Structure 1
Amino acid sequence: MAVPAPNPRMVREASLEELSRLGLPLPPAHFPLVWEPGDRIELRPTGEIETRVAVLHLILARCFGMPPQAAMSWLLASHLVETVTPPEWQFVTGGKGDHRSFVLHFDALYALAWVLGLTRQLDPTLPVDERLVERMPNILAGETVRHWRSRTLTAPRDPADAAALLDLHYCLDWAYLEVEHAHRTLPGLVDASAIGQRRWALEWAVVLRGPYHDEPPGWEEVDLST
């Protein structure tokens, strides 16, 4: 259910304060807000986010050596074939595509896990918590998504908290790219690519409703150009 979005200017002020704390450059004054006053927000359905988490986890398993036939068998057993995007399907079945870009999805998976309450924090200075794998489906053991859901207690975040983190990553994405282009030192152990992946996941998971928002995009349709 959509709820009123928090004041976008207050959220932006908090995001800029965090950038300043990290010693990052601030975006220009005309940098757009993520939403407008009067907009509403919600998270995608929990089941849809869980499904995307499972697919990304499988993609990463393929990146690290899972045979294509085993990956296909798991997708079929978990009834997830129709949720795999065309680029993901080509990679799962034939290894086609940019292997490095799929490996980077580990950070997108981390952000979605945060949305589901499966990890405590999403610190822009820290890499993915290695214990995250323990909270994912045990694909190598053949654990299906259905069984994973039955043993996993998700507690989706408040939409306002998720939206605030989205705004922060919108600003961080700009700032990290600026720092990398200037060949300056980043504030932690995470690079611009990882921040971009986390933003991608948050842009997809947080649904914005208002006169200036389109229908929620598909996974491959998330726009990170601005």
Structure 2
Amino acid sequence: MSVTAPDPQRVREASIEQLHRLRLPLPPPDFPLVWEPGDQVELRPGGEIEARAACLNVVLARAHGMPPELAVQWLAEARLIDRLTPPEWQFVADGVGDERSFALHVEALFALSWLLGIAMDLDPLLRCAADGLMERLPNLVQGESFDAWRRRTLAAPRSAVAAAQQLDLYYCLDRSILEAERAGLPLPGQADSNTTGQRRWALEWAVVFAGPYHGAAPGWEQVDLST
């Protein structure tokens, strides 16, 4: 359900305060806001986020050695083949693509799990604990089906307001950590630009704004992380 987005300036002030605490470079004063006052915000439907998480889970499994036949079979039984992007399908079915790049999606999957309420905290100081995350996702080794996973987890998606606040933080973090890496500055924790970029990717995809300056919600491969 769409609601009025929180005051973007106050949310930005909270994000900047977090950067202060982490001793990261601050964005310039004209760094754009993610949304404008009066915009509406909503999360994509929970089922759509669950489907995206399940697809990324299979992509990660393929990056770690799951046979393509089993991966395709699981997706077919879950009726999720058409939810993969073309690059994901080429990688899952035929092994085409950079395995290391697809493996980085663990952090995007972590952010999706946070949105679904099955991961508790997107701490910017820590990388995703992959073993703990996998326990909350479909158990592909044991053949757990998509429907069985949904019944087991009983996802409780975050509010759109909380998700928007997290998106603004990661929008700022993504820029600040990239700047710190370029300048050779020490990072405050385990997370690096791959971590923040992947989490931001998931949040940018899942949090949908409506207002004079927003177009249609982007597809997964159309998310723009260039700013």
TM range (shorter): over 0.9
Q: Give the aligned length.
A: 226
The one-letter code of the counterpart of 1:41 is V
Cross-structure match for 2:185: 184
The reply on whether 1:148 has 2:149 as its aligned counterpart is: yes
> What does residue 72 of structure 2 align with?
72
What TM-score comes out, normalization by structure 2 length? Answer: 0.98
Query: Match for residue 171 of structure 1?
Result: 172
How many angstroms apart in 2 are the aligned matches of 1:99 and 1:194?
17
1:57-88 deviations in whole A, cap 9, x for unaligned?
A: 00000000001111111111111111010000
Structure 2: which 5+ residue stretches go unaligned?
none
Q: Which residue of 2 aligns with 1:223?
A: 224
Residues 102-141 of structure 1: pairs in structure 2 closer than 5 A: 102-129=102-129, 130-141=131-142
Q: Deviations over 1:112-149 (max 9, x none)?
A: 00000001100010111331110100112221111111
Q: Which ranges in structure 1 are unaligned for 5 or more consecutive residues? A: none
Q: Distance in 1 between matches of 2:171 and 2:98?
A: 24
| Matched AA of 2:152 | R
Instruction: Give the deviation of 1:19 after TM superposition.
Output: 0.2
Q: In the alignment, is residue 161 of structure 1 matched against residue 159 of structure 2?
A: no
1:15 Cα deviation after fit: 0.2
Give the aligned partner of residue 37 of structure 1. 37
Q: 2:120, 2:81 → 1: CA distance?
A: 30
1:192-218 CA distances to partner (integer Å, 9 max, x unpaired)? 111000000000010111110011110
Report percent identity of matched pairs. Answer: 59
